[in-house]
């Protein structure tokens, strides 16, 4: 991607992360093609993009004035073939990500960066399934992506200098500051955050105290901005369990094994903010 000014971004996955990334791009004047498997999901995504864009403008995380770029939604993955960069933002499942990245890499012309928004699956591992692993890089956008202006950039062992330069330029155009880290399971943020959330859930399950008290103590005593369990609800408890399992499988560290309380909540469909209930009840907020 030599001309950042002419950028056109493809985003694969219209869930929480995909829509947030789309908001950041169109809010900074970069057209987006957003792909998902059904028109119903895309209709919901368009609605959420509109809401999030207004919020982002109010919060100053995208320009309050200026042209908002076009958002095109489609169920056809081939629609990203002409993009200058493509972001994969599907579920945190290594097999699904590998399939999507592998198929997408065959559609893209040489020189097109392919970006995975994985929160912890090594880029080198995913790169084995792509046509050009030197053009794959990790960019871990945090949730909510349209409000958090720092991202974790993961350079795989095979990621080229050209890919890094292109992606750095794209992120700058999107008003995001990237911190580059080396490839490893969980990278930095997930390696630190996820076991803390897991342990906080264990503390609640053991009856030591409530979720509210855990979060109050972490905010008031240790300076955590929201508390680990409110953060878990924002991430999505299903996404968190998937990420913990990926870390557990790749490190063998039992601290990453999802605790029973997290598994129970996911089994009940209590996934956090997106479902209306997690460690907290959001039904009144969402209505």
End residue of a domain, out of 165, 182, 199 = 182
266 with 223, same domain: the answer is: yes
Structure tokens at 126: 């995913």
144 with 198, same domain: the answer is: no
149 with 108, same domain: the answer is: yes
CATH of the domain at 234: 1.10.1040.10
44 with 95, same domain: the answer is: yes
88 with 160, same domain: the answer is: yes
End residue of a domain, out of 182, 204, 225 = 182
Condensed to tens digits (0 to 9), the pLDDT of residues 12-51 reads 999 999 999 999 999 999 999 999 999 999 999 999 999 9
Helices 237-251 & 228-235 angle (0-180, nearest 10): 100
- Burial class from Cβ neighbours inside 10 Å (0-12, 13-18, 19+) for residue 254 reads exposed
List the 9-12 sheet strands across, edge first: 71-74, 32-35, 9-12, 85-88, 114-116, 136-140, 150-155, 177-182
60 with 164, same domain: the answer is: yes
14 with 156, same domain: the answer is: yes
112 with 233, same domain: the answer is: no
Which domain covers residue 19, as residue numbers?
4-182
Residue 285 is assigned to a structural domain of this protein: no
Does 286 score more than 80 pLDDT?
Answer: no
Residue 284 is assigned to a structural domain of this protein: no
Mean per-residue pLDDT, 198-213: 98
**Residue 66 pLDDT level (bands cut at 50, 70, 90):** confident
| pLDDT at position 256 | 96
Domain count along the chain? 2
Structure tokens at 44: 């919901």
Of 6-10, 118-122, 186-190, 268-272, the range with the lowest mean pLDDT is: 6-10
Alpha helix (H) residue ranges in the chain: 16-27, 39-59, 94-107, 123-127, 161-173, 189-205, 211-222, 228-235, 237-251, 260-267, 283-286
CATH of the domain at 55: 3.40.50.720
35 with 143, same domain: the answer is: yes
Residue 245 is assigned to a structural domain of this protein: yes
pTM exceeding the 0.75 threshold for the entire prediction = yes
45 with 108, same domain: the answer is: yes
Residue 69 is assigned to a structural domain of this protein: yes
Condensed to tens digits (0 to 9), the pLDDT of residues 232-283 reads 999 999 999 999 999 999 999 999 999 999 999 999 999 999 999 999 999 7
80 with 173, same domain: the answer is: yes
86 with 168, same domain: the answer is: yes
Residue 287 is assigned to a structural domain of this protein: no
């Amino acid at each position: 991607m030599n001309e950042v000014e002419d950028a056109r971004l493809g985003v694969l996955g219209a869930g929480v992360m995909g829509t947030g990334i789309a908001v950041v791009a169109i809010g900074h004047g970069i057209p987006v093609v957003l792909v998902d498997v059904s028109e119903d999901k895309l209709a919901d995504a368009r609605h959420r993009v509109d809401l999030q864009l207004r919020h982002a403008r109010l919060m100053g995380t995208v320009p309050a004035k200026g042209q908002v770029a076009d958002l095109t939604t489609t169920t056809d993955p081939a629609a990203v073939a002409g993009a200058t960069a493509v972001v994969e933002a599907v579920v945190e499942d290594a097999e699904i990500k590998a399939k999507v990245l592998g198929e997408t890499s065959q559609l893209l012309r040489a020189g097109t960066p392919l970006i995975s928004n994985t929160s912890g699956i090594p880029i080198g591992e995913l790169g084995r399934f792509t046509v050009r692993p030197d053009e794959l890089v990790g960019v871990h956008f945090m949730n909510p992506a349209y409000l958090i202006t720092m991202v974790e950039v993961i350079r795989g062992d095979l990621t080229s200098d050209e890919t890094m330069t292109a992606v750095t330029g794209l992120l700058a155009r999107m008003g995001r500051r990237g911190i580059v880290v080396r490839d490893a399971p969980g990278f930095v943020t997930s390696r630190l955050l996820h076991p803390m959330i897991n342990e906080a859930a264990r503390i609640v399950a053991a009856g030591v105290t409530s979720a509210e008290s855990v979060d109050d103590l972490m905010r008031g005593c240790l300076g955590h901005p929201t508390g680990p369990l409110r953060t878990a609800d924002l991430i999505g408890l299903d996404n968190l369990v998937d990420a913990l399992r990926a870390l557990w499988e790749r490190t063998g560290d039992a601290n990453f094994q999802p605790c029973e309380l997290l598994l129970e909540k996911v089994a009940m469909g209590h996934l956090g903010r997106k479902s209306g209930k997690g460690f907290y009840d959001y039904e009144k907020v969402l209505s």
